[in-house]
Structure 1
Amino acid sequence: MTYRSILLNLDINRHDNSLVRLAVDLAKRFDARLIGLAAADVPPPMASADGMVFDGELIECEREDIEARFAELRAKVENFAGTTVELEWREALALPTRLVIEAARAADLIVTSSPDTASSINAYRSTDIGSLVLNAGRPVLVAAGEANQLVGEKAVVAWKDTREARRAVADALPLLLRAQEVVVVTVEQTEGSVSSAGVDDVAAFLMRHGVKARPEITAGENESKALCAFARSIHADLIVSGAYGHSRLREWVFGGVTRSLLDDRGLNRFMSS
């Protein structure tokens, strides 16, 4: 298994040189086609006490601004990719989250930037990372804030015995195979609350695929903090996890670990749902 097509999702509000470098580097390492994508839309006219507010000139200016930003992003991606990466560019005046989810059908892996917070979102100009992870049907690599490259020498697999975690382990295999050390870790919140059978099985599964993996049980009352602290204690630059959430009143509500990982901009996070 490998990644033959990587979708790079770019936010028009950001100047993500580091994200572009990281995605181009991954495409080179896996000899993958890179699909650069940018989307944004103009909000619809707002209703006021006097009726519908419609300023055609203002809307046209916003549209022109978006299209100018598309051109800048495309030029940046083409410059970093050069002639060494097979590149496709996509752009559209559309809601970003919806368009990225649709485009996920063309890719093995989605690479995107780290949100300021998991709930920080302008639906017309930015991607809702949580909705993307839970709906794309593809693994999502949420890059650390200033990461120029995913070295991936040390990786942590955050293990829970769930469908989402199993999916994440399988989806991350191409990256885990390149790591020098992979630790499959689960958090014991109270003494005797977990069995080593799960992490042992997953570590053995990975080793059969050629991954240098070992199991680990770490203790901590707060699962999220314990996982992140463990990842930093071994200087891991990648954490692999399942993503857990459900929709409530059209908003994504996440489990504590998923939300904490989405908000932790210091780690590269690989998530599957």
Structure 2
Amino acid sequence: MDFANILVSVDDGPGTADRVQLAGALARRFGATLTAAAARPMPVPSMHAALQHEDDIRSAEEERLGADLAGIRALIAREAGPLRPTVWRQALASAAEHLIRQARGADLVVVGRRGPADGGGLLSVPPDRVLMEAGRPVLIAPPGIARLAAERILVAWKDTPEARRAVSAALPLCRSAATVLVATVGPDAADEGGADVAEHLARHGARARVRLLHGARGQDESEPLLSLAHREGVDLVVLGAYGRGRLREWAFGGVTRSLLQRAPLCCLMSH
């Protein structure tokens, strides 16, 4: 398996240029289509305006959206570099809902990190919702990261369906990495089957080895994982995204929530 279509979320924020560079480089690496998606909700008109001029309002808003996004489209043409095909998708809609719809034709979705200090405007997309609803692996890129070599990859392994899907999604990157560390955390780390995962990756051509991180029960597992990533020069973390939802309010587990908000390196997650 390789990536044939990479979908990137674009918006009017300062992180878009770096994110497009990153996604464009990945698309060139795998000979993939780069699809860029942006959307803005249709403003709610007054009842009178809605009844009298609905078509005119929509036409005006579509024209305004096109004008607002013209600069972003030019940025994509400039930053994505020479690609096989580049596809543009824009809509008057919720930015998250539009991206999730476009994900049906993608192998990988690239979004920006949205931590408390990262900001985000009307066009930006919350990664947590995309993770839970897109049904595709999601690459979360922190601000300021414009390149992903994926030379040294850390698999944050927990023997769950989400982690298994994340490892499968990361295979195209793992095969060409110089090192893949399969790390488990906690007092029962040795029982999580990390050695089996490393062997599985090796069958696919990856240079994988196991690391056991014996943390205390109940400890925030993101701390030892990020410390290991820093020591080993890791530039990509692969992990399952763990959470439960009720009435569209998602509650994530500690590691997922922590990495979504503050990881200083790219994270490839799958739910």
> Shorter-normalised TM-score: what interval?
0.7 to 0.9
Does 2:73 align with 1:74? yes
SS of equivalent to 1:271:
strand
Quick one: structure 1 residues 144 and 53, their matched pair in 2 at CA, closer, same or farther if it must change by over 3 Å? farther
Worse overlay, 78-87 or 198-207: 78-87
CA distance in 2, matches of 1:14, 1:63: 23
SS of equivalent to 2:190:
coil
Does 2:209 align with 1:211? no
| Aligned residues of 1:97 and 1:132 also touching (Cα < 8 A) | yes
1:245 equivalent among 232, 243, 246 = 243
| Aligned residues of 1:40 and 1:126 also touching (Cα < 8 A) | no
| Aligned residues of 2:118 and 2:143 also touching (Cα < 8 A) | no
Taking structure 1 as the reference length, the TM-score comes to 0.87
SS of equivalent to 1:172:
helix
Quick one: structure 1 residues 79 and 119, their matched pair in 2 at CA, closer, same or farther if it must change by over 3 Å? closer
**Partner residue, 2:180:** 182
Structure 2: give runs of 5+ residues left out of the alignment. Answer: none
Structure 1 position 71, deviation (Å)? 1.2
Structure 1 position 65, deviation (Å)? 5.3
**Partner residue, 1:225:** 223
Question: When you count helix as a share of all residues, which structure comes out higher?
Answer: 2
SS of equivalent to 1:68:
helix
SS of equivalent to 1:2:
coil
Structure 1 position 45, deviation (Å)? 5.3
Report the number of matched residues: 264
Q: Supply the RMSD in Å over aligned alpha carbons.
A: 2.7
Counterparts of 1:40-59 in structure 2 under 5 Å?
40-44=40-44
User: What are the superposed Cα offsets for residues 29-68 of structure 1, whole Å, 9 maximum, x if unpaired?
Assistant: 001011111111144359xxxxx79899x99997765432
Quick one: structure 1 residues 116 and 45, their matched pair in 2 at CA, closer, same or farther if it must change by over 3 Å? farther
Quick one: structure 1 residues 106 and 232, their matched pair in 2 at CA, closer, same or farther if it must change by over 3 Å? same
**Partner residue, 2:169:** 171
Q: Which amino acid aligns with 2:103?
A: A
Q: Which amino acid aligns with 2:79?
A: F
| Aligned residues of 1:115 and 1:262 also touching (Cα < 8 A) | yes
**Partner residue, 2:196:** 201
Q: Which amino acid aligns with 1:44?
A: V
Structure 1 position 126, deviation (Å)? 2.4
Structure 1 position 75, deviation (Å)? 1.2
**Partner residue, 1:49:** none
User: What are the superposed Cα offsets for residues 244-266 of structure 1, whole Å, 9 maximum, x if unpaired?
Assistant: 11113421110111101101241
SS of equivalent to 1:147:
coil
CA distance in 2, matches of 1:182, 1:242: 16
Counterparts of 1:254-265 in structure 2 under 5 Å?
254-265=252-263
CA distance in 1, matches of 2:252, 2:45: 32
SS of equivalent to 1:184:
strand
CA distance in 2, matches of 1:165, 1:148: 26
| Aligned residues of 2:15 and 2:143 also touching (Cα < 8 A) | no
CA distance in 1, matches of 2:226, 2:156: 10
SS of equivalent to 1:145:
coil
User: What are the superposed Cα offsets for residues 196-243 of structure 1, whole Å, 9 maximum, x if unpaired?
Assistant: 561100000000110000011113332121211211121100000001
CA distance in 2, matches of 1:217, 1:164: 20
**Partner residue, 1:108:** 107
Q: Which amino acid aligns with 2:40?
A: A
Structure 1: give runs of 5+ residues left out of the alignment. Answer: 47-51
Q: Which amino acid aligns with 1:41?
A: P
| Aligned residues of 2:184 and 2:190 also touching (Cα < 8 A) | no
Taking structure 2 as the reference length, the TM-score comes to 0.88
